[in-house]
């Protein structure tokens, strides 16, 4: 409204806001950009299609790319099962490059709330490869594993892990 008043008064030959219209329009555009950036940060998802994840077991895969989150969801959170394609693999491993595998998300880079009110957040996205029945392919799991996996009946992964958080 102030911009329309300023343009009306500038046509008459007087500047009603004294050059404030340019500053005001700049302020409106920057506040709109800040609002849109904060809105886009709120709409981030956890693990979605084409997300690259590290593998922390000795199955032979190094990196996988998420194809789909199971159970008809658009995104997978901590302790959910995904379908993934192996992008990098060790030469003598059980899993070869290009193979389609199942995996359980062990670390997610986005915050996940716990029942006691605390939040857990990891540095990167990590997965443990499992078969169709949910049993791990590898015999060891490296690094930290959150105790939330117990709720989804992934107790075998917890027994293979070095540390439980």
Q: Report in angstroms the alpha-carbon separations of 151 from 35, 78, 115, 147.
A: 37, 11, 12, 8
Q: How far apart are the first and last CA of the chain?
A: 55
The answer to which of 18-22, 97-101, 120-124, 128-132 has the lowest mean pLDDT is 18-22
If one compares 24 and 150, the residue with the highest pLDDT of the two is 150
Which residues are CB-contacts of 147 (< 8 A; sequence separation ≥ 6)? 158, 164, 165
Q: How many Å apart are CA 75 and CA 43, to the nearest integer?
A: 12
| pLDDT at residue number 113 | 83
- Per-residue pLDDT, averaged over 66-91, amounts to 90
111 pLDDT more than 60: yes
Does position 160 have pLDDT exceeding 60, yes or no? yes
Question: Contact, 51 vs 119, CB < 8 A?
Answer: no
Cβ atoms within 10 Å, residue 107:
22
**Rounded to an integer, what distance in angstroms lies between the CA atom of residue 30 and that of residue 21?**
14
What pLDDT band is residue 105 in, cutting at 50, 70 and 90? very high
């Amino acid at each position: 409204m102030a911009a329309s008043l300023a343009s009306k008064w500038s046509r008459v030959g007087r500047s009603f806001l004294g050059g404030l219209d340019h500053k005001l329009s700049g302020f409106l555009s920057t506040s709109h950009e800040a609002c849109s950036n904060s809105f886009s940060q709120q709409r981030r998802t956890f693990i979605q299609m084409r997300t690259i994840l590290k593998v922390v077991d000795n199955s032979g895969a190094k990196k996988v790319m998420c194809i789909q989150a199971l159970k008809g969801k658009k995104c997978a959170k901590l302790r959910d099962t995904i379908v993934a394609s192996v992008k990098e693999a060790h030469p003598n491993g059980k899993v070869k490059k290009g193979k389609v595998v199942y995996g359980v998300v062990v670390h997610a880079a986005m915050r996940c709330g716990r029942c006691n009110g605390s939040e857990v957040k990891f540095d990167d996205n990590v997965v443990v490869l499992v078969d169709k029945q949910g049993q791990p392919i590898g015999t060891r799991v490296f690094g930290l594993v959150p105790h939330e996996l117990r709720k989804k009946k992934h107790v075998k992964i917890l027994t293979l892990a070095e540390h439980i958080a």
